[in-house]
Amino acid sequence: MTATDGRPAFMGALPQEFVWGVATSAYQIEGAVGADGRAPSIWDAFCRVPGAVAAGESGEHACDHYHRWPEDLDLIAGLGAGAYRFSVAWPRVVPGGDGRVNRRGLDFYRRLVDGLRERGITPFATLYHWDLPQALEDRGGWRVRDTAERFADYAATVHEALDGVPYWITLNEPYCSSITGYAEGRHAPGAREGHGALAAAHHLLVGHGLATARLRERARKGERIGVTLNMSPAVPASPSPEDTAAARRMDLMVNRQFTEPLLAAAYPGDMAEVYGEISDFSFRRPGDLGLISAPLDFLGVNYYYPIHAAAAPYDQPDPALRTAYDIGVRTVPPAGPPVSGLGWRVEPRGLYDTLTGLAARHPGLPPVFITENGYGGGDELDDTGRISYLDQHLAATADAVADGVDVRGYFCWSLIDNFEWARGYAARFGLVHVDYATQVRTPKAAYHWYRDVIGAGS
Ligand code: FCB
């Protein structure tokens, strides 16, 4: 952070009312998977599959946030953060996926929202952060349209019960829910299907559209509705025409497959060409695009790194180098520093390009919140790598704002170390360290740094 007047240099470009926040998600922190009537989600089931999660770990106990939430909200208040992005666990609220509503599950989120408001922190509630009730997966999961309808019912139930949430996010990262979960099998439900993943991607978007319509009907004054996408610019690994075309295919799969229907009411024209033989889009119905593209009050963008894409022959012998869709792309592994503790490339320019690219491509782009950005490392408390990462990405955000992109806020992933999905607990993203044996929380250097940034911006 460069400072002449004691304020970080990037602060100058950010609007006065910029929202400073932190983010988490239910399955990654709550634990208490059997408490108060919660039923299993696809992640409870996936964690039991041998080899699915590093060290055979699961979210069974996680950070025990379900019981320790007041302490965690105090940590947010200690940062001076104005907002907290959390997710609601569908299997706590509607354990069977549809039908009976579990009041005790809703009560937990009521307490949480009340606790936030008492501390002057604005709640941003995500309705789906990957924890589909297993009962719905048993009926086809996101491969089937019925799940989208059930999601809208569940969304309406939560919305009605939680007064005092001004910002609603329907989905977190539909790319990961569909491609990583149904094609690559690296996430729950662990499926490796081409066409099933395409159907899942579409049904997630339909679920977003149906839920948005239901929330709009009942919206209280001032409530805003949006969706969060993970975005990674696809950069050609070389200037060759082959790698350039490969990057374009990757951009379709990761970004445009979601941004275009949401923001431009159309699926990209190159979908059939890229997906080849699995291009059976019979799951699309008339009217779907209108539903999916209903106006958003804001777009949530999660950004971590860009993807460096090279063309790879379809008969690439090493399965680890193929995408599950087999779109003829190889992701070039990070080469040389700088990389995060997890080996993810540190390229803040990718965030700038994402934000300015969105604004250029979609002139009516709604206001953007960066709903996740953060650094995964080990268990060090003096996390200088994280500080440098956050500093550079806030500078990139400020550059995009200076160049005209309407970015309203930034949420650091994550408040506390937590269950990092298939990587288990070894990958730590928190501003606050968690000792999982004792559940003791210890703020890291980045926590103090972020508190100072927020203080300088307030
Ligand atoms: C994102 C997820 C979030 C967290 C970060 C590191 O893809 O939304 O839950 O795991 O990555």
Q: Are 17 and 451 in contact (CB under 8 A)?
A: no
Give the closest residue (by CA) to ligand 1 atom 4: 420
**Residue 1 scores a pLDDT above 60:** no
Q: Are 42 and 129 in contact (CB under 8 A)?
A: no
Separation of CA 235 and ligand 1 centre (Å): 21
**Residue 357 scores a pLDDT above 80:** yes
Best mutation site among 27, 372, 393, 415 for ligand 1 pocket (most ligand atoms within 8 Å of CB): 372
**Residue 293 scores a pLDDT above 60:** yes
Q: Which residues pair with 142 in a beta bridge?
A: none
Across 171-176, average pLDDT: 98
CA–CA separation, 369 vs 328, rounded Å?
33
> Hey, what are 255's tokens?
């970004």
pLDDT given at position 332: 84
**Residue 337 scores a pLDDT above 80:** no
Atom of ligand 1 nearest to the CA of 429: 6
Dihedrals φ, ψ of 355, to 5°?
A: -70, -45
CA–CA separation, 146 vs 284, rounded Å?
13
Separation of CA 22 and ligand 1 centre (Å): 13
Side-chain-side CA neighbours of 349 within 13 Å: the count stands at 6
CB-based contacts of 379, cutoff 8 Å, min separation 6: 417, 428, 433
Q: Are 133 and 46 in contact (CB under 8 A)?
A: no
Annotate 366-383 with b (16+ C-beta within 10 A) or e (fewer). Answer: bebbbbbbbbbbeeeeeb
The C-alpha angle 75, 225, 131, rounded to 5 degrees, equals 65
Domain coordinates in residue numbering, the chain:
10-457
Q: Which of 354, 413, 405, 415 is nearest to 18 (CA)?
A: 405
Quote the radius of gyration of the chain (alpha carbons, Å): 21
Separation of CA 115 and ligand 1 centre (Å): 24
Best mutation site among 41, 175, 302 for ligand 1 pocket (most ligand atoms within 8 Å of CB): 302
Q: Which residues pair with 302 in a beta bridge?
A: 230, 372
CA–CA separation, 333 vs 145, rounded Å?
36
pLDDT given at position 331: 86
Atom of ligand 1 nearest to the CA of 421: 10
Separation of CA 372 and ligand 1 centre (Å): 8
Q: How confident is the model at residue 60 (pLDDT cuts 50, 70, 90)?
A: very high
pLDDT digits (tens, 9 = 90+) for 250-263: 999 999 999 999 99
pLDDT digits (tens, 9 = 90+) for 260-288: 999 999 999 999 999 988 889 999 999 99
Q: How confident is the model at residue 62 (pLDDT cuts 50, 70, 90)?
A: very high
CA–CA separation, 157 vs 42, rounded Å?
21
Distance, C-alpha 175 to centroid of its chain: 9
Q: How confident is the model at residue 7 (pLDDT cuts 50, 70, 90)?
A: confident
pLDDT digits (tens, 9 = 90+) for 391-436: 999 999 999 999 999 999 999 999 999 999 999 999 999 999 999 9
Residue 372 falls in the annotated catalytic set: yes
Considering the candidates 30, 57, 137, 372, report the single residue annotated as catalytic. Answer: 372
Average predicted confidence (pLDDT) for the chain: 95
Other Cβ atoms less than 10 A from the Cβ of 73: the count is: 21
Best mutation site among 63, 173, 258 for ligand 1 pocket (most ligand atoms within 8 Å of CB): 173
Annotate 35-70 with b (16+ C-beta within 10 A) or e (fewer). Answer: eeebbbbbbbbbbeeeebbeeebbbebbbbbbebbe
Separation of CA 421 and ligand 1 centre (Å): 8
Q: Which amino acid is at 244?
A: T
Percent residues over pLDDT 70 in the chain? 95
Q: How confident is the model at residue 319 (pLDDT cuts 50, 70, 90)?
A: low
**Residue 2 scores a pLDDT above 70:** no
Atom of ligand 1 nearest to the CA of 228: 8
Q: Which residues pair with 19 in a beta bridge?
A: 409
CATH 3.20.20.80 correct for 10-457: yes
Atom of ligand 1 nearest to the CA of 173: 8
Atom of ligand 1 nearest to the CA of 376: 6
Considering the candidates 173, 184, 347, 420, report the single residue annotated as catalytic. Answer: 173
Dihedrals φ, ψ of 228, to 5°?
A: -110, 125
Q: Which amino acid is at 262?
A: L
Across 55-80, average pLDDT: 98
Separation of CA 346 and ligand 1 centre (Å): 16
Residue 420 falls in the annotated catalytic set: no
CA–CA separation, 299 vs 301, rounded Å?
6
Separation of CA 356 and ligand 1 centre (Å): 22
Q: Which of 398, 409, 295 is nearest to 356 (CA)?
A: 398
Ligand 1 shell residues, CB under 6 Å: 25, 28, 172-173, 176, 230, 302, 372, 413, 420-421, 429
pLDDT digits (tens, 9 = 90+) for 85-142: 999 999 999 999 999 999 999 999 999 999 999 999 999 999 999 999 999 999 999 9
